[in-house]
Amino acid sequence: MKKISVIATSFFLSLLFSQVCFSQSQSRIRTIIVDAGHGGNDQGAKGTYSTEAELTLKFAIKVGELLQQELPDTKIIQTRTSDITQSVREKAAFANENKGDLFVCIHVNAAPPIRHSKVTGYQNRVYYTGKGANRKKHTKKQPVYKRWTTPNPRYGTGTYVWAADRDVHKADAVSERFESEGELTDVPDPSTPEGAIASRLWVQKYFKNSVRLASMIESEFEKDGRKSDGVLQRNEKGIWVLQATNMPAVLIETGFITNKEEEDYLNSEKGQSEVSRAIVRAVVNFKNLLDSQRNGGIETSNAGVAPTNQANAANTPVSANE
């Protein structure tokens, strides 16, 4: 009897284990890379008392912890958990080596101070022309300016996806994954024309999903009353990680450190908690949506997808790809 119950228990356990493995292997998102932007020698944008690298690290740690609680079967990996120097190349390589299925990069925005100038008077400038006996003295009246700057009032959030003209680079990154990863070997050799097309199709799929997640993140921010610039595209140094990672990728600008009010919010308990929770809600909704589609579920109006950002998302080439 005892033997039977042991067999029954081990059978039940192995069934449970295979169920867990089954549901996990079914998920499209098994590994999520959370990246705290900048770090170490590169502190990123600066506010009046805090830096971008400090804030992104706090957010990334909170987001990582919350994601692990919400998605216990998903591997959550941080690019950094302390104030270390890490180039964008290292971040992208780290994400690719760890075979991430999603790259969530956290940043804080900055806007340049606004320059002002005013003519406060005039002064004569003396200059000479010619040489020797022909040398002549001139005077010219010139305005005197007072110049000063005031902080840029820009505030609010925005989530970036890679620019469509970077698809080629993204396809290169994806091709490298095909070569190194056994599970994707059903995809043709990327050096062949068929393979090149296949990797471009993967890129389009990743792009569509990145826009979808970016839009979900922004609508979660809006629910907390934040001003959202929606889904954006940009070609800049910091955005390079988006094209170099071989997975869907978003870069979240959580607010402007150059706006005093927003710097205070981002540093506050309330701001830390709201921003982290908004990101986590969007990522969890996004994962569930993808998994429900994969398992034959019907895509209904998911709570995470609010119509607010559709205008923005529609401006990106994703609609043309569909």
Q: In the complex, what is the shortest distance from the CB of residue 315 to Zn ion, in angstroms, rounded to a whole number?
A: 23
Distance CA 113, CA 300 (A): 44
| CA-derived radius of gyration, the chain | 26
Where do we find the tokens 């033997």?
3
Q: In the complex, what is the shortest distance from the CB of residue 108 to Zn ion, in angstroms, rounded to a whole number?
A: 6
Binding segment (CB under 5 A) for Zn ion, from list 13-21, 99-107, 173-181, 195-203: 99-107
Binding segment (CB under 5 A) for Zn ion, from list 19-27, 32-40, 175-183, 259-267: 32-40
Task: Please give the structure tokens belonging to residue 110.
Answer: 């900055």
Q: Helical H runs in the chain?
A: 2-26, 52-70, 88-97, 167-180, 193-223, 240-244, 260-267, 269-294, 310-315, 318-321
Distance CA 205, CA 299 (A): 16
Instruction: Rule CB under 5 A: choose which of 29, 32, 34, 44 binds Zn ion.
Output: 44
Q: Are 167 and 152 in contact (CB under 8 A)?
A: no
Q: What is the 3-state secondary structure (H, E, C) of 121-163?
A: EEEEEEEEECCHHHCEEEEEEEEEEEEEEECCCCCCEEEEECC
Instruction: Rule CB under 5 A: choose which of 32, 34, 36, 37 binds Zn ion.
Output: 37
Q: In the complex, what is the shortest distance from the CB of residue 239 to Zn ion, in angstroms, rounded to a whole number?
A: 9
Q: Are 111 and 218 in contact (CB under 8 A)?
A: no
Binding segment (CB under 5 A) for Zn ion, from list 14-22, 36-44, 90-98, 121-129: 36-44
**Would you say 37 or 39 has its CB closer to Zn ion?**
37
**Would you say 102 or 251 has its CB closer to Zn ion?**
251
**Would you say 107 or 212 has its CB closer to Zn ion?**
107
**Would you say 69 or 235 has its CB closer to Zn ion?**
235
Task: Please give the structure tokens belonging to residue 30.
Answer: 């098994």
Site for Zn ion in 158-187 (CB under 5 A): none
**Would you say 107 or 287 has its CB closer to Zn ion?**
107
| Nearest to 251, CA basis, from 221, 282, 210 | 210
Distance CA 278, CA 268 (A): 15
Q: In the complex, what is the shortest distance from the CB of residue 253 to Zn ion, in angstroms, rounded to a whole number?
A: 8
Q: Are 34 and 104 in contact (CB under 8 A)?
A: yes
Task: Please give the structure tokens belonging to residue 300.
Answer: 């209904």
Q: In the complex, what is the shortest distance from the CB of residue 251 to Zn ion, in angstroms, rounded to a whole number?
A: 8
Site for Zn ion in 203-242 (CB under 5 A): 238
**Would you say 62 or 177 has its CB closer to Zn ion?**
62
Distance CA 49, CA 322 (A): 45
Q: In the complex, what is the shortest distance from the CB of residue 241 to Zn ion, in angstroms, rounded to a whole number?
A: 10
Q: In the complex, what is the shortest distance from the CB of residue 80 to Zn ion, in angstroms, rounded to a whole number?
A: 14
**Would you say 240 or 265 has its CB closer to Zn ion?**
240
271 makes contact with Zn ion (CB under 5 A): no
**In sequence order, which residues have a C-beta less than 8 Å from that of residue 8 and are 6 or more positions away?**
none
Binding segment (CB under 5 A) for Zn ion, from list 42-50, 119-127, 184-192, 202-210: 42-50
**Would you say 11 or 49 has its CB closer to Zn ion?**
49
**Would you say 44 or 190 has its CB closer to Zn ion?**
44
Q: In the complex, what is the shortest distance from the CB of residue 38 to Zn ion, in angstroms, rounded to a whole number?
A: 6
Instruction: Rule CB under 5 A: choose which of 62, 107, 212, 287 binds Zn ion.
Output: 107
Q: By CB neighbour count within 10 A (0-12 exposed, 13-18 middle, 19+ buried), where does 151 fall?
A: middle
List contacts with Zn ion (CB under 5 A): 37, 44, 107, 238
